[in-house]
């Protein structure tokens, strides 16, 4: 399992509307903060797989997916938003590993 890209608003809506637990990372992949966040999320994706958790991880390109940023009310990067049962169930706007782990692990 890895962090997959979201290609467009329709893909995003399909994922949220599925009701499955998902983790969305809003970050610039070439920035140091974005690379650090994706590294943490890759680790969490592997951990979720070990625990057989039905959690999927995605990244959103903030430059190419402005409609998703607006829908999620993202004001700063990096931001992680967690959805469960079609609702936002958590948000983290820092790179503090413990905060990210706490929000994500509530999904399984």
**pLDDT (0 to 100) of residue 76:** 94
Long-range contacts of 38-41 (CB under 8 A, 24+ apart): 38/3, 40/95, 40/97, 40/100, 41/3, 41/80, 41/100
Q: Residue 50 has what pLDDT?
A: 86
Owner of token pair 């599925």: 18
Q: What is the mean pLDDT of residues 4-28?
A: 96
Confidence of residue 108 (pLDDT cuts 50, 70, 90): confident
Inter-CA distances, 100 with 14, 64, 75, 81, Å: 24, 24, 18, 10
Q: Per CATH, the architecture of 3-105 is what?
A: 3-Layer(aba) Sandwich (3.40)
Is residue 52 very low, low, confident or very high in pLDDT (cuts 50, 70, 90)?
confident
Report long-range pairs for 82-90 (Cβ below 8 Å, ≥24 apart): 82/21, 82/22, 82/23, 82/24, 82/106, 82/107, 83/15, 83/16, 83/21, 83/22, 83/23, 83/24, 84/19, 84/21, 85/19, 86/16, 86/17, 86/19
With 70 as the cut, is the pLDDT of residue 94 above it?
A: yes
Label residue 1 by pLDDT band (50, 70, 90): low
Q: What is the mean pLDDT of residues 48-67?
A: 92
pTM, rounded to two decimals: 0.93
């Amino acid at each position: 399992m890895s962090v997959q890209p979201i290609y467009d608003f329709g893909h995003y809506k399909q994922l949220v509307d599925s009701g499955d637990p998902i983790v969305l990372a809003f970050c610039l992949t070439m920035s140091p903060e974005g690379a650090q966040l994706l590294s943490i999320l890759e680790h969490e994706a592997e951990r979720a797989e070990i625990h057989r958790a039905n959690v999927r991880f995605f990244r959103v390109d903030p430059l190419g997916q402005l409609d998703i940023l607006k829908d999620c009310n993202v004001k700063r990067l990096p931001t992680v938003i967690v959805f469960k049962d079609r609702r936002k169930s958590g948000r983290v706007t820092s790179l503090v590993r413990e905060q990210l782990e706490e929000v994500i692990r509530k999904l399984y």
